[in-house]
Structure 1
Amino acid sequence: MNLLKSFVLLTLASTSFMAGAEAQGIIIDQPTPGTTLSQGVPFTVQITRPDDIEFTYEVGLAIGALACTSPCPDPESRMGDVLYAGPFDPEFHGPGQQYQNFTVVIPASGAGSYQLGILRFYLIGAGPGAVLDQYTVPINVE
């Protein structure tokens, strides 16, 4: 019986740790998957940061656009055209979560299927520890 109790406690602890790690992520609100964008025309990338369980210190963010077909490589290994590289400092805009808008342009380099890749580098916790997260959104470019 003690073995079963230990297993249940270990499972609950692991689940809570994973939920905490997941809560540190960001959400790409715009553009939505499958959006069609035009080369040379500015568009908005809106990135939301949910309320964090632990303190995070934002180091930077990079946004890139890569022409590719599925499966596309991870942004960490290949970003494509870098559309933005710099600070990430989301703010509250009324009630709700923190977000930041980035106005970027996909250069004229050909139409087709693209991947919008986002790399976020931040420090977390009392240590703190360094974290590099990557996110992608499939888009179409005309």
Structure 2
Amino acid sequence: MKVLFVFVLFFAVVWAQQHQIGFPRNGATVKLGSTIVVEVDRPNSIQGSTEAGMVIAIQSCPSFPCSPPSSILGTILYNGPYDPEFHNSGGFFKPPHQNFSVVIPAPGEFGGPVQVGRAQLAVARFHMIGAGLSPLLAFANITLNIIA
């Protein structure tokens, strides 16, 4: 029973550190070649977290299911630091987050084979949690509808 409790507690701590894509929303329509803002939210947690880096990528999958981001990220749109902060305005509470402006590459741009149709926007975040700084690689993804 104690082992089960420890496992559940560990899972809850890790789950509490999971980031989310706050914007755009799942199923949003975006245009090839356009610049979009990607908001990456991190839950406010009492568990310490040291950010190491993040990747935002897009994978085109117009006629077949997208691969999980843990297997294939696709075309990298951003690769660098992640420094989420609180930004509360007008009484509207948001979790710690950071916004990134990225370009949805047209076919052939930036080496990216993004096509019209369904695509997966994924965020891979590498950070350390806890007093012993245990490494954790976490993924979040949404589906986008790409138009010309």
Instruction: Please give the range of the TM-score, normalised by the shorter of the 2 chains.
Output: 0.7 to 0.9
Classify 1:11/1:77 alpha carbon distance in 2 versus 1 (closer, same or farther; 3 Å).
closer
Structure with the greater alpha carbon radius of gyration? 1
**How far apart, CA to CA, are the structure 2 residues paired with 1:57 and 1:70?**
36
The equivalent of 1:87 in structure 2 is: 81
1:1-142 equivalences under 5 Å are: 7=1, 10-68=3-61, 69=63, 71-94=65-88, 95-109=93-107, 110-142=115-147
Range that drifts further, 16-25 or 113-122: 16-25
Number of paired residues? 135
Residues 77-131 of structure 1: CA deviation (Å, up to 9, x unaligned): 2221111000000111125421100111111022111000110000111221111
Structure 2 gaps, min length 5: 108-114
**How far apart, CA to CA, are the structure 2 residues paired with 1:53 and 1:133?**
18
Output the TM-score relative to the length of structure 1: 0.86
Classify 1:116/1:55 alpha carbon distance in 2 versus 1 (closer, same or farther; 3 Å).
same
**How far apart, CA to CA, are the structure 1 residues paired with 2:6 and 2:55?**
33
Could you tell me which amino acid in structure 1 is paired with residue 76 of structure 2?
Answer: V
Could you tell me which amino acid in structure 2 is paired with residue 46 of structure 1?
Answer: E
User: Contact 1:47–1:100 (CA<8 Å) still a contact in 2?
Assistant: yes
**How far apart, CA to CA, are the structure 1 residues paired with 2:71 and 2:98?**
25
Range that drifts further, 15-24 or 70-79: 70-79
Deviation at 1:70, TM superposition (A): 5.1
Specify the SS of the correspondent of 1:91: coil
Residues 22-68 of structure 1: CA deviation (Å, up to 9, x unaligned): 10111211111110000111111111111123211100000001111
% of aligned pairs identical?
37
**How far apart, CA to CA, are the structure 2 residues paired with 1:89 and 1:48?**
10
Structure 1 moving runs of 4+ over 4 Å: 9-13
Output the TM-score relative to the length of structure 2: 0.83
